[in-house]
Amino acid sequence: MKKSNPIALAPIGVFLVLYLGLGVLFEYVLKIPMGFYNIPIVVAFLAAILVACTQNKEKSFDEKLGIMAQGLADKNIITMLLIFLMAGTFVGVVGRSSAESVAYFMLSLIPAKFSIAVLFVVACFVSTAMGTSVGTITLITPIAVTVAKASGFSLPLCIGSVMGGAMFGDNLSFISDTTIAACNGQGCAMKDKFRENFKIAFPAALVTLGIILGLSLRMDLSGSLGQEYHLVQVVPYVLVLLGGIMGINVFLVLLVGIVSGSVIMLATGQTAPTDLLANMGSGVSGMFETCMVAILVAAMCALIREHGGFEALLSGIRRVFKGNKGGQVGMGLLVCAMDIATANNTVAIVMANPIAGEMAREYGVTPKKTASLLDTFSCISQGAIPYGAQMLVAISAANELGFEVTAFDILPCLFYPGLLLLSSLIFIFLVPQKSAEESSERRG
C-alpha cells in the first residue's frame, strides 16, 4: 500500500485547469464555435505528465520513465488500442449512409404522429450499431429537423429524442469507445458488461419512449417523408451487434464486420476499391487521438499511483461512501466529475479506470459492474452537459439548416439521461446484487 499523498493528484488538477479553463475561455468568452474541441487534449495531458515527473525527488527521471512504461505494459491497454483501431477501420469501411437508410425506411412505414418515437428508436439502433453518439447525432439531426418542419413537432423535442437515443446506443454498443475503454480498463468481457448495462438502460429507454409517445399522441399532425434507402448496407452493423451479444471474440466480430462491409460496399457500387482503402485509413486515423489519450493517461496514472495519489483519493472516498452500494455511487460520481471537467466520456472513463479499479477491490464490486457503472454514469453526464460534443453538434446541424435552437431549449426535452440516472440508482439501491467475492467463489 502506497503512503497517502494528496499532492500527487496535482497532475489531474493541472489537466483540468488547462482543458476546462481554456475550454470555458474559448467557448463562452471568446465565443469560438466548438471552443472546447479546439483545445489540444494531448498537449494538456503532456503538461500534466510533466508536472507528475517533477514530483518525488527521490526517484530519477529514468526511474519515472520506467514507472510509466510499466503502466503501459498492460494487456488491457494493448487490447484497448487494437480494438480502437479495428473499430475505426470498420466505421471507415461501412460509412454512415446506412443510418439514413434505417431512418427513412422506418419513417416511410410509420404514421407521422409517431415520427419522434421513430427518431428515438432509430437513434438507439444506429448508435448501438455504429458505436458513436456524435456520429449518430450528426446523421439523424438533419432528419429530425426535416421531421419537425414537415409535421409541426417541436424541434427541441425532435433533437432531444435523437440525443437520448444516441446516448442509449453509446452506452451499449460493442464498438463504442466508452465500452472498449470501460471493459478493457476493468478486465471484463464485453458481453458481461452489455448484460449488466442492458438491465439499467432498457427500462430507462422504454419509459422515455412512453413519454415521447404520450406527447406525440396529444398532437394532431400530418405529413410524410420520402427518401431513397438501401437496407443491405445495414447488414454489417447487424452482424457486429449479434456477434457481440453472442459473446464472440471482439476481434473476430469486427473482422467479420469489416469483410462483410467491404463486400457489400463494393458490390452495390457505393465505393471503389481504391476509395475503400482510403476510407479504412480515414477510419483508423479518426482513432489516433483516442489511442494517444489512452497511452498518456496510463502513463500519468502510473506515476500518480506510485506517488500515493490514488491512496489519498481512496482515503477521501472511504470517509464519504460506506459499503458496497456507497462505493458504486462513488464510482458513478467520480466518472461524472471527470466527464463534466473534460466534456469527453471516453477520456473520463480512461482517467477514472485505475481509480475505479482500486475502489472495486475496496468495496467488493465486480469488474463487469464497475465497467457498467463507468460507462453508464459517463453517458448520463455527457448526454446532458450543454458544452458536450453531442449538444454542440446537434445545435450546429440545426443551425446549418436555418433553424435557431439553443442548448437551453433542448435540455428540458432530454428525458433519457435523467431516466437513466434514476434507473441506475434504483438498480444500485433496490436490486440485490452479488459482490465480487461471492462471484469469485461461485466461479471457483
What is the grid cell recorded at 182? 470501460
The contacts of residue 443 (CB under 8 Å, 6+ apart) are: none
The contacts of residue 204 (CB under 8 Å, 6+ apart) are: 168, 416, 419, 420, 422, 423
pLDDT at 376: 94
What is the grid cell recorded at 90? 470498420
The contacts of residue 232 (CB under 8 Å, 6+ apart) are: 264, 268
Fill in the amino acid letter for 62.
D
Q: How many angstroms separate the CA atoms of 409 and 75, rounded?
A: 45
The contacts of residue 208 (CB under 8 Å, 6+ apart) are: 120, 164, 415, 416, 419
Q: Give the residue carrying C-alpha cell 483508423.
A: 284
Are 382 and 123 in contact, with CB atoms under 8 Å apart? Answer: no
Rg (CA), the chain: 22
pLDDT at 346: 84
Quick one: DSSP state of residue 226? Answer: -
DSSP SS3 for 429: helix
Are 367 and 360 in contact, with CB atoms under 8 Å apart? Answer: yes
In degrees and rounded to multiples of 5, residue 54 shows phi and psi of -85, -10
Q: Measure the CA angle with vertex 52, ends 51 and 54; round to 5°.
A: 65
Which among 240, 287, 247 is positioned nearest to 94, based on CA atoms? 240
Residue 232 burial class via C-beta count within 10 angstroms: exposed 0-12, middle 13-18, buried 19 and up = middle
Q: How many angstroms separate the CA atoms of 17 and 143, rounded?
A: 38
pLDDT at 444: 40
Fill in the amino acid letter for 186.
Q
The contacts of residue 413 (CB under 8 Å, 6+ apart) are: 154, 156, 157, 159, 160, 161
Q: How many CA atoms lie within 13 A of 144 on its CB side?
A: 35
SS (H, E, C) 1-29: CCCCCHHHHHHHHHHHHHHHHHHHHHHHH
Residue boundaries of the structural domains of the chain: 6-56+63-439
For each of the chain's 444 residues, which pLDDT tens digit applies?
Answer: 567 788 888 888 888 788 878 888 887 788 787 666 677 878 888 999 999 999 988 889 999 999 999 888 877 678 768 877 887 788 788 765 666 666 677 677 777 778 888 889 888 988 887 777 877 787 788 788 877 877 778 889 989 999 999 999 888 888 788 888 899 889 898 889 998 999 999 999 999 999 999 988 776 655 555 566 677 877 887 787 777 667 677 788 888 888 988 998 888 887 888 888 998 998 888 778 778 887 888 888 888 888 888 778 777 777 888 888 998 999 998 888 878 766 678 878 887 888 888 889 888 999 999 999 999 999 999 888 876 778 877 887 787 677 778 777 888 899 999 999 999 999 999 877 665 444 443 344
Q: Measure the CA angle with vertex 81, ends 190 and 243; round to 5°.
A: 30
Query: How many other C-beta atoms are found inside a 10 Å radius of the C-beta of residue 30?
Result: 11
The contacts of residue 86 (CB under 8 Å, 6+ apart) are: 251, 254, 255, 258
pLDDT at 200: 94
